[in-house]
Amino acid sequence: MFQDDALMPWRSGIDNVIAGLEFRGVARSEAVARGEEWLRRVGLAGFGDRYPHQMSGGMRKRLALAQTLILSPDILLMDEPFSALDVQTRQLMENELLALWAEDRKSVLFITHDLEEAIALSDRVVVLSAGPATRPIGDFKVDLPRPRDVSEIRMTPAFLDLHREIWGAMREEVLKAYEAQKVL
């Protein structure tokens, strides 16, 4: 799942969600039944007949999430999937991701530039150096209780302590990257 959704504008919501199943040869009736279940799970029951342009940014992200999860991947790769959303919608999507993760416990590799998002969603945060020859510079265990609400967990002392620790490890790299961009 990427920053920009991979929804096909000519397909309805349900048809977007089931596209991968259809490509795998699943019968349409079974694909639609599974797709409707996933629409329900991501809070879009009743919106399957809408097209992407008829949905808000948050709805499209939930549709893209259903489109990905219906295929039951062993690992979910997410490259800044919520970065284009407003803060409120972003937090709703983060909580939704945590709830869906709790149901299936799939492995998720989540890439983000947002340290708070990384801590709130993760069990482990790996910090990378500034590019182009990037390398791991820190590996931090996130031992915060689950279930979590991303907006509430951010106010806890344990979250703030971990944020301070990780920021301390990455501050120099962030400043280095910032300086490099000023030269361009």
The closest of 101, 105, 102, 168 to 140, measured between CA atoms, is: 168
pLDDT band at residue 62 under the 50/70/90 scheme: confident
**Residue 74 confidence (pLDDT):** 87
**Token reading at 5:** 């959704």
Each residue's pLDDT tens digit, 13-58? 999 999 999 999 999 999 999 999 999 988 899 999 999 999 988 8
Could you give the domains of the chain? 1-111 (3.40.50.300), 121-184 (no CATH)
Q: How far apart are the first and last CA of the chain?
A: 30
How far is Cα 36 from Cα 39, in angstroms, rounded to an integer? 5
pLDDT band at residue 184 under the 50/70/90 scheme: low
